[in-house]
Amino acid sequence: MSAKVWIVVQHREGHLHRMSREAIAGGQQLASLLGGTAEAVVLGHGVGPVAEELGGYDLAAVHVADAEALADYTPGGYVGVLAAALKDHAPTHVVLAHSYQNIEYMARLAQAVGGSLLPEATGFETDEEGVVWRRPVLGGKLQARVRAVGPAPLLVSFQSGVFGGSDAATGNAPRVELDASAAAPDREILGVEEVAGEHVDLSAAEIVVAVGRGIGDGDKLKIIEALAESLGAEIGASRPVIDNGWLPRDRQIGSSGQTIAPKLYIAIGISGAIQHLVGMKGASTVVAVNKDAEAPIFGVADYGIVGDLHEIVPALTEAIREAKAAAG
Ligand SMILES: Cc1cc2nc3c(=O)[nH]c(=O)nc-3n(C[C@H](O)[C@H](O)[C@H](O)COP(=O)(O)OP(=O)(O)OC[C@H]3O[C@@H](n4cnc5c(N)ncnc54)[C@H](O)[C@@H]3O)c2cc1C
């Protein structure tokens, strides 16, 4: 049986989600590795512009379920339509971005169609027996190599940053209507609010000083601010710093935050979990400060400093100021 890879995309206000472009690139590569076809699926109401954008990719079809019941995303709406469509069209693989929205319903969808589930994949290859997937385990401390042995279809979500959205191959894909009558919304969306605050675009920064839970407390951030100022850098953070309310959410780097590619990235008190690394792996030079010599961040660092950040960061700031003063 030849592979048929369905890529279910996520969108908002007429725009494809960044991670969905990455999923398209991943789905295309999977289909090409398996000698099969890649097809996109979009659900919603008034999704013409998104369907049109999808039509510009190298896909065998763009399946469109357009109905009022799908105007807002709900797990019941999506699972109803997708379960019926998967039974009708029998794709071998269903590819999604590992986003909050998708991981909420994909287990329920796998269960509804009697398929298999492989969340948070970070890559794949083939051997003589078939596809071998990679996915993080133990909070990203280890990468497991996994073979999916359950029934088709296999629902896979790709971790953010594994594929480049701009690597998705372009082409001309025909639109195919999908029956949306099985949509059964199980929530009433009363409103969606933007998270307040000025948005910082860290992706434009050449130097980023990123702080992690190792800082200990929000009132200790002054040493980080001083270092960033001495370098003319933006401040970024790992997720616990944001969850603790020490910095606003738009400073978060990683799979559920921003993806950045600065010339210099300084990770301070950050362990280096996979969800963080996918957001900064495009950095040209990585410097890490951590008191634990075994911290995974040292695995991706070009320069590592093992020690207490409360001593090292002020010393680093001082040295940078002196060097700048000497250079005039
Ligand atoms: C679905 C999902 C999405 C996620 N998305 C993201 C994301 O977008 N971004 C993200 O960052 N995380 C994300 N995470 C969380 C991620 O798994 C890690 O928990 C997180 O990155 C850890 O942050 P940290 O390195 O700051 O903290 P820890 O893992 O607690 O590491 C703290 C580090 O500080 C060091 N340290 C402590 N004290 C000192 C000191 N005095 N001096 C020097 N070093 C010190 C320690 O040795 C340790 O290595 C996500 C998790 C999930 C499940």
Is the pLDDT at 20 greater than 90? The verdict is yes
Residue type, 167: D
Instruction: Using pLDDT thresholds of 50, 70 and 90, give the confidence band for residue 16.
Output: very high
Q: Which two tokens stand for residue 208?
A: 């980023």
Is the pLDDT at 1 greater than 70? The verdict is no
Out of 45-54, 136-145, 193-202, pick the least confident: 193-202
Shortest-distance Cα residue to atom 47 of ligand 1: 292
The closest alpha carbon to 95, from 143, 46, 37, belongs to 37
Q: Which domains does the chain have, with CATH numbers?
A: 4-177 (3.40.50.620), 202-327 (3.40.50.1220)
pLDDT of residue 241: 96
Q: How far is the CA of 30 from the centre of ligand 1 (A)?
A: 31
Instruction: Using pLDDT thresholds of 50, 70 and 90, give the confidence band for residue 197.
Output: low
Per-residue pLDDT of 36-85, as tens digits, reads 999 999 999 999 999 999 999 999 999 999 999 999 999 999 999 999 99
Distances (CA, A) of 226 to 85, 232, 242, 287, 320: 55, 10, 19, 17, 11
Is the pLDDT at 128 greater than 80? The verdict is yes
| 1 vs 29, higher pLDDT | 29
For residues 36 and 5, is the Cβ–Cβ distance under 8 A? yes
287 Cα distance to chain centroid: 23
Averaged pLDDT, 226-234: 94
Shortest-distance Cα residue to atom 38 of ligand 1: 214
Residues whose beta carbon lies within 6 Å of some atom of ligand 1:
139-140, 212-214, 238-240, 252-257, 269-271, 273, 275-276, 279, 289-292, 295, 308-310
Shortest-distance Cα residue to atom 3 of ligand 1: 256
Is the pLDDT at 148 greater than 60? The verdict is yes
pLDDT of residue 143: 86
Mean pLDDT for the chain?
A: 94
Tokens 């100022």 locate to 229
Tokens 């296999």 locate to 154
Is the pLDDT at 107 greater than 90? The verdict is yes
Which mutation among 256, 266, 297, 311 tests ligand 1's pocket best, with the greatest number of atoms within 8 A of CB?
Answer: 256
* C-alpha span between 304 and 38 (Å, rounded): 42
Share of the chain above pLDDT 90, in %: 81
pLDDT of residue 270: 98
Which mutation among 120, 122, 238 tests ligand 1's pocket best, with the greatest number of atoms within 8 A of CB?
Answer: 238
Partners of residue 234 on adjacent β-strands:
208
Which mutation among 209, 239, 253 tests ligand 1's pocket best, with the greatest number of atoms within 8 A of CB?
Answer: 239
pLDDT of residue 4: 98
Is the pLDDT at 140 greater than 80? The verdict is no
pLDDT of residue 327: 86
